Structure 1
Amino acid sequence: MSRSLPISASAQGGVYPRPQLVRPNWHDLAGEWAFDHDDQDTGMSERWFANAAHLGRVITVPFPPESELSGIADPGFHPVVWYSRIISPEDVAASGRSRERDRVVLHFGAVDYRASVWIDGQFIGSHEGGQTPFFFDVTEALSRQEASVLVVRAEDDPHDVAQPRGKQDWLEDPHVIWYHRTTGIWQPVWLESVPDQRIGALSWAPNVPAGNVAMEVDLTRRPAGNVTVQVELSIAGEHLARQSFLAVEPRSQATIQIARQSNGQAFEALLWSPENPRLIDAHVSIIADDGSILDESFSYFGFRSVGVAGGRFLLNDRPYFVRSVLEQGYWPQSHLAAPSAEALRAEVELIKALGFNAARIHEKVEDPRFLYWADRLGLLIWGEMGSTYEFSPEAVSRVTREWTDVVRRDRSHPSIVTWVPLNESWGVQQISHSDAQLSFAQSLYHLTRALDPSRPVISNDGWEHANSDILTIHDYAGTAEELDANYRDIDAIRALVAGMGPAGRRLQLIAREVEGQSIMVTEFGGVSFAPDAADDSWGYTTATSYEDFESRVSGLVGSLRDNPILSGFCYTQLTDTMQETNGLTDENRKPKLSIAVIRGIVSGEGAPLPRVTAAAASSLHSATG
């Protein structure tokens, strides 16, 4: 379907696949495609890319074929799959192509894990990395007068544990904390018609103390003549700044001063936070010598800072206690793909309604549309990489390449406040004994800081830290008394760090004094409660009744929520996920206790609902009692 968007990127409807580089017209290619498995991997030799008649099934894109919403619903081992779709002249017209010189670009939000693309049998290109977007200029490949056949081959070897895969199981049936695989297309596929000389990427880096924002703009090719970049900033219709500069290279940088910030007594009025998620709109134009507009796009950013100092996590240079929840980003009917764009907004609203101000996206790089709602509604996000399961030169190469793309794509989202390239030594299981694995963790820390020096980086969340800006600990103590004992004062935490840690793993591999560090318990809880669940339901401890569940969760959260030494916590987890029944809600997002009770536990009794989520929470409460 074709789309037309408003000129305010901060007020878009949450459907556009690339929310921080918006153009008004685009065409969604979601829907029914031809599909088939290629279990014998004969498709290449039989030239399926040139004859889509081999594909005898129908799939609904962008849902993975393992999922129910795809219409295939086959979670077995199928390492190679093929897709096909007709692209008609009407599709191209719907993408906004109105001039002969316009280029037509085919975008993929994410294809897990390796994709190859053909149009009418002509090879267009390939991409490796299951969590990052890619695109191809397909102008010449598409027929001007008749329909063209788009074919995609996706390869996702379930036994290749050097692939960044997160929680996708290597066994055929999900077990313990691992889930069904997500193969092939799982984020939007779309067409866009664009000028030849255009904006390829934008990034924003606010500097709150200086009252300005650094902007980086990438053009798709070196300017042939004098090209001017013009930037206009506004908030809620109020003009904030305008600046123009000459672009003589494909990549240009500029610093834009925001005049309102010169009044030091009023500088906080523009700051972004979960409580006041103010977004600044940007209109960016590329202008030729003769004054004609070559390209224009719409973007946004949040004016805020994050960091650590004095043993605290800082938001806008003030101590901020992080109340986070572990978010798997998994739905029973669609797996890692969201069941709809609206479901992504509802997820953010649910997290806020339950009293959390943050979410740790776990072992997954999330859809940018989820990040948009976190930006707009106000939710701190911990950006995390999906892990490999082995350490090898191939795994190092793949993680480094894909993580670089992730950070570059998402670094302008104000909601992301922390980067986590590794979790619980996944992919570096012998890090405490291997200099090579420790060096890799350190290199990822420094690489991330090089790409984005504005955020804290956690080298290896949970234990066996290399360099980390926050000391994060995973502690699944079964009772509040056990948690109290571990974190009651700095001496108790120092003893914990000096020993083997709650999971029997050393917490720091590079010695650093505990006092003065920002310390968070970034996994705890995990209380299983599912009265109607099967025998394989799983959690760290098990509640026997609603009353017991409330008592356990309340005790565990309460012991950390009021701790003056910690900078925050992350409760495991938001939702039940397959056999994991340790969510605060079931897999369909129905809370196991009332919204008011969970919110009181998480944020303190009497805490009011945030304005942006009050209506959603009221609806949830009426549905759950």
Structure 2
Amino acid sequence: MNQFEYPRPQLVRDNWINLNGKWRFRFADEPADRVPDSVAWTHEINVPYAPETEMSGIQDTGFHRFCWYERDFELAPSDQRTILHFGAVDYCAKVWVNGQLVAEHEGGHTPFAADISSALKDDGKQVVTVFVEDDPADLAKPRGKQDWLLEPHSIWYPRTTGIWQTVWIEQVSRTFIRSLRWTPIFETFEIGCEVFAGGDIQEDMVVEVKIWHGDTLLADDLYKLLAGEANRKIALSDPGIDDSRNALLWSPERPTLLDAEVILRCGDKVVDHIKSYTALRAFHINRDRLLLNGRPYPLRLVLDQGYWPESFLTAPSDEHLKRDVELAKLMGFNGVRKHQKIEDPRYLYWADKLGLLVWEEMPSAYRFSPHAITRIVKEWTEAIERDYSHPCIIVWVPFNESWGVPNLTLTQAHRNAVEALYHLTRTLDSTRPVIGNDGWEASATDILGIHDYDSDPEKIKARYEVTDPVRTLFDQRRPGGRILTLDGFPHRGQPIVLTEFGGIAYDPNATPEDGTWGYTRSQTAESYHALYQSLLKVVNETFMFSGFCYTQFADTFQEANGLLNADRTPKLPFEVISAATRNVPLPPRDPKEGEGPEAA
């Protein structure tokens, strides 16, 4: 259960040590508990599950600002470098190995690493200790859907404190491949490859890059390493004919991945050798339409918050991540909007491999200040660096619904923050569209995202009918009672996507005491199916929309508006959901299977 697969799927080495499993643990509520040399351990915790979760073995959801972790491991020192990796620790972490401070990191959703070679003991018996600070009342840090109240309320959920992604070790050469970036260039049938080396760089080092499509070798190139970097475009053979070209292109319908090897050499010696993958695909905007690989491609997204009732932000296993990708596709969607979460790279791997588009969104802070924006910029930059090479990711979203920048209509500094993050994101990645602030009050944006939870399909149809001038929508109708664009940023013809709608609650087992809710509610499977089907029909047929994102994938704590229950069982048969999602007739059912939407 704890042996997650290799946690960095686009830069893989054969030898690694997984440190998930049993660690010593203690909450440090009193000042005396925060001294590194005198920690009295009180619990055993199952890493990487947060102490609030059932799977951690602790399940304490109270307010705890500080905590400690520690575990032993055996590893003999060697001539190689030993790198200790943390997938994510919420929120601030200090790390010691054998009493030596080796790393400090701020940011709860992004990875960090430390070279611990000099801290290792000669006898091979090592100890790693982690101190975490995660203030539950701090609204000026990126926290996403983690509640600041003791009990979850409204649309916020229990907190995640401390380690919540895989901890692992790898040993690398004195000079090693530190990072790798792949950039598909669809127009010229090329793959951009950037290799960044770390450690002791020598003048005669070269990088060999091999790319395969199945068993066919597409490229085997050798590049000189200059100042620790190699940056080249690798030309692929363009067959010219659509059918032959399509065999190399990545899409949800045909998720073709190109396997890769990157080998660092010094003379005749192999210094480092990693496995990776990339893909050839393009996601572009042409006037008011979205294009995938040069063709109009309507988006059918579902909002996915990435929580599990037993483990919160951490998936119970790698198989659960894979299954979530499969379930989204099974329900007729071609993508997900990962909402208020930087998802585990293993999820992105499965989205790459199985074919599912992903919008990546920065978890929000809820108080505006220069310090809050500095924190967002740091963590968002790290997230883009981590996830840049995944072909599944098609859009970046730094802000949602003006959270953390609540005075966009009145305060220039709030506007500046959104515009700055938009332009920073476009600078870090010029290949993908960016939505500065999704939902309403848009300024700098490549796509106009609208949130509208009206449950009447006829009102949705009338509000967005194309016979009415688009400016009426922006000047008068105001979905959700908010202006869609700020003064000085009129709609310039960007694609319009209904990025949140629906939110229909249906839970036949719920009682009034449960406190579950949605934006509207159905009492029976038949009425639930009818409303979902009619809403999706209108949205699919509205020409103004280049796509949509339905709320939501699965029930999440008190929100009962998922298409799936929290345990990922469907509320309607999958074929019923899929047909409505895609606005196609329901396939004929075998009479032996029963009738009606409740038939499973």
Can you list the C-alpha shifts for 1:328-385, whole angstroms capped at 9, x where unaligned?
0000000011111110000000000000001000000000000000000000000110
Supply the distance in 2 between the matched residues of 1:514 and 1:468 (Cα, whole angstroms): 10
**Could you tell me whether the CA contact under 8 Å between 1:591 and 1:624 is conserved in 2?**
no
Deviation at 1:268, TM superposition (A): 2.8
Which stretch has the larger CA shift, 257-266 or 478-487? 257-266
Equivalent residue, structure 1, for 2:209: 231
Equivalent residue, structure 1, for 2:288: 311
Mapped pair 1:480 → 2:470 = no
Secondary structure at the aligned position of 2:383 is classed as helix
Equivalent residue, structure 2, for 1:525: 502
Which one of the candidate residues 29, 39, 44 is aligned to 1:58? 44
**Could you tell me whether the CA contact under 8 Å between 1:286 and 1:296 is conserved in 2?**
yes
Equivalent residue, structure 1, for 2:26: 36
Mapped pair 1:18 → 2:18 = no
Which one of the candidate residues 55, 64, 70 is aligned to 1:69? 55
Supply the distance in 2 between the matched residues of 1:209 and 1:264 (Cα, whole angstroms): 13
Supply the distance in 2 between the matched residues of 1:358 and 1:264 (Cα, whole angstroms): 24
Mapped pair 1:322 → 2:299 = yes
Equivalent residue, structure 1, for 2:199: 221
Supply the distance in 2 between the matched residues of 1:41 and 1:251 (Cα, whole angstroms): 46
Deviation at 1:285, TM superposition (A): 0.5
Q: 1:124 to 1:512 in 2, by over 3 A?
A: closer
Supply the distance in 1 between the matched residues of 2:227 and 2:8 (Cα, whole angstroms): 24
**Could you tell me whether the CA contact under 8 Å between 1:365 and 1:384 is conserved in 2?**
yes
Mapped pair 1:363 → 2:340 = yes
Alignment of 1:179-190 (within 5 A): 179-190=157-168
Equivalent residue, structure 2, for 1:113: 91
Q: 1:73 to 1:267 in 2, by over 3 A?
A: same
Secondary structure at the aligned position of 2:132 is classed as strand
Look up the equivalent residue of 2:62 and give its one-letter code: G
Equivalent residue, structure 2, for 1:417: 394
Supply the distance in 2 between the matched residues of 1:320 and 1:490 (Cα, whole angstroms): 23
Which one of the candidate residues 522, 536, 539 is aligned to 1:543? 522
Alignment of 1:159-238 (within 5 A): 159-221=137-199, 223-238=201-216
**Could you tell me whether the CA contact under 8 Å between 1:328 and 1:362 is conserved in 2?**
yes
Deviation at 1:272, TM superposition (A): 0.3
Alignment of 1:406-485 (within 5 A): 406-485=383-462
Mapped pair 1:88 → 2:63 = no
Equivalent residue, structure 2, for 1:248: 226
Equivalent residue, structure 2, for 1:574: 553
Aligned residues with identical type, % of pairs: 44
Mapped pair 1:377 → 2:367 = no
Deviation at 1:606, TM superposition (A): 5.1
Secondary structure at the aligned position of 1:547 is classed as helix
Can you list the C-alpha shifts for 1:558-614, whole angstroms capped at 9, x where unaligned?
110122221000000011111101111111111100101001100133589xxxxxx
The CA RMSD over aligned residues, in Å, is 2.1
Secondary structure at the aligned position of 2:468 is classed as helix
Q: 1:265 to 1:544 in 2, by over 3 A?
A: closer
Q: 1:242 to 1:363 in 2, by over 3 A?
A: same
Look up the equivalent residue of 2:568 and give its one-letter code: R
Count of residue pairs brought into register by the alignment: 591
Q: 1:221 to 1:102 in 2, by over 3 A?
A: closer
Deviation at 1:556, TM superposition (A): 1.2
**Could you tell me whether the CA contact under 8 Å between 2:253 and 2:355 is conserved in 1?**
yes
Secondary structure at the aligned position of 1:43 is classed as helix
Secondary structure at the aligned position of 2:422 is classed as helix
Which one of the candidate residues 228, 242, 246 is aligned to 1:268? 246
Look up the equivalent residue of 2:559 and give its one-letter code: E
Which one of the candidate residues 566, 572, 576 is aligned to 1:597? 576
Alignment of 1:489-568 (within 5 A): 489=466, 491=468, 493-499=470-476, 501-511=478-488, 514=491, 516-535=493-512, 536-568=515-547
Equivalent residue, structure 2, for 1:340: 317
Secondary structure at the aligned position of 1:81 is classed as strand
Supply the distance in 2 between the matched residues of 1:562 and 1:390 (Cα, whole angstroms): 39
Look up the equivalent residue of 1:417 and give its one-letter code: I
Q: 1:370 to 1:503 in 2, by over 3 A?
A: same
Q: 1:29 to 1:586 in 2, by over 3 A?
A: same
Deviation at 1:478, TM superposition (A): 1.5
Mapped pair 1:300 → 2:286 = no
Q: 1:263 to 1:254 in 2, by over 3 A?
A: farther
Deviation at 1:484, TM superposition (A): 0.6
**Could you tell me whether the CA contact under 8 Å between 1:241 and 1:258 is conserved in 2?**
yes
Can you list the C-alpha shifts for 1:109-154, whole angstroms capped at 9, x where unaligned?
0000000001122111110000000011111212131412211011
Give 5+ residue unaligned stretches, structure 1. Answer: 4-13, 609-617
Mapped pair 1:157 → 2:143 = no
Equivalent residue, structure 1, for 2:590: none
Equivalent residue, structure 2, for 1:612: none
Deviation at 1:624, TM superposition (A): 8.0
TM-score by length of 2: 0.95
TM-score by length of 1: 0.91
Secondary structure at the aligned position of 2:32 is classed as coil
**Could you tell me whether the CA contact under 8 Å between 1:590 and 1:624 is conserved in 2?**
no
Q: 1:2 to 1:258 in 2, by over 3 A?
A: farther
**Could you tell me whether the CA contact under 8 Å between 2:466 and 2:544 is conserved in 1?**
yes
Look up the equivalent residue of 1:313 and give its one-letter code: L
**Could you tell me whether the CA contact under 8 Å between 1:211 and 1:261 is conserved in 2?**
no
Can you list the C-alpha shifts for 1:515-536, whole angstroms capped at 9, x where unaligned?
7321110000001111222431
Deviation at 1:317, TM superposition (A): 1.3
**Could you tell me whether the CA contact under 8 Å between 1:279 and 1:301 is conserved in 2?**
yes
Supply the distance in 1 between the matched residues of 2:319 and 2:158 (Cα, whole angstroms): 23
Look up the equivalent residue of 1:544 and give its one-letter code: Q
**Could you tell me whether the CA contact under 8 Å between 2:444 and 2:489 is conserved in 1?**
no
**Could you tell me whether the CA contact under 8 Å between 1:459 and 1:467 is conserved in 2?**
yes
Supply the distance in 2 between the matched residues of 1:126 and 1:624 (Cα, whole angstroms): 54
**Could you tell me whether the CA contact under 8 Å between 1:214 and 1:253 is conserved in 2?**
yes
